[in-house]
């Protein structure tokens, strides 16, 4: 199985990066392949709600903007499972994660199955709150709504803070292993 681990922190050695590494290690421990994607390294802009509110996203399941989203969307729909890892900013996913989630939702929410669909794709969501630790739960609620909108399969939601880091890394790795070995 192939797992796409999508993280959205500009910091490559902080809490969010450690969570993404734990997901990759959990994938390897389960005998599967992980591909890491750092959203901050990609060019993914905000949704423009073009075409009177809908561009080709509704019918063609692609975005008309010429940036990195369509390539990422292809990798997402080809993956057997997704791990979404975001820092918590003001109780929400990071801006780069929100931009990606918004645009992917528009391209996939009307696709119940097939190659352009995320339907039934197992998803693990991780919110890394590095400061006070507040806001992780509301961040995960946002991610849960996205998972519901695209028809993916919720497998787990993990809130990590700087206070819980020491034991949450193993929890992330174990959640990925479980996601990959449990029946869909």
Q: Output 60 or 103, whichever has higher pLDDT.
A: 103
* Alpha-carbon gap, residue 69 to 64, rounded angstroms: 10
Residue 66: pLDDT band (50, 70, 90) is very high
Counted domains in the chain? 1
Query: Where in the sequence is the domain holding 51, given as residue range(s)?
Result: 2-32+40-181
Q: Of 59-63, 95-99, 100-104, 134-138, where does mean pLDDT reach its minimum?
A: 59-63
**Mean per-residue pLDDT, 125-131:** 94
- Burial status of residue 14 (CB atoms within 10 A of its CB: 0-12, 13-18, 19 or more): middle
> What CATH number is given to the structural domain containing 115?
3.40.50.360
* Alpha-carbon gap, residue 45 to 2, rounded angstroms: 26
91 is written with which tokens?
A: 């109780």
Residue 183: is its pLDDT beyond 80? Answer: no
148: left (phi over 0), alpha (psi -120 to 50) or beta: alpha
Residue 184: pLDDT band (50, 70, 90) is low
> Which segments of 59-181 are extended strands (E)?
81-89, 92-93, 122-129, 153-161
Provide the whole-model pTM. 0.95
pLDDT at residue number 51: 84
């Amino acid at each position: 199985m192939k797992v796409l681990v999508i993280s959205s922190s500009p910091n490559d050695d902080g809490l969010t990066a450690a969570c993404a590494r734990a997901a990759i290690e959990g994938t390897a421990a389960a005998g599967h392949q992980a591909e890491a994607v750092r959203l901050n390294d990609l060019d993914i802009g905000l949704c423009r709600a073009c075409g009177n509110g809908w561009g080709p996203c509704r019918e063609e399941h692609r975005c008309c903007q010429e940036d990195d989203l369509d390539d990422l969307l292809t990798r997402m729909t080809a993956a057997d499972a997704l791990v979404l890892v975001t820092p918590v900013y003001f109780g929400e996913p990071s801006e780069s994660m929100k931009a990606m989630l918004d645009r992917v939702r528009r391209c996939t929410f009307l696709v119940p199955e097939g190659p352009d669909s995320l339907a039934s794709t197992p998803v693990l969501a991780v919110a890394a709150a590095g400061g006070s630790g507040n806001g992780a739960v509301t961040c995960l609620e946002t991610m849960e709504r996205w998972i519901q909108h695209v028809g993916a399969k919720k497998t787990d939601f993990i809130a990590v803070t700087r206070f819980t880091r020491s034991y949450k890394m193993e929890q992330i790795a174990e959640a990925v292993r479980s996601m990959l070995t449990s029946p869909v």
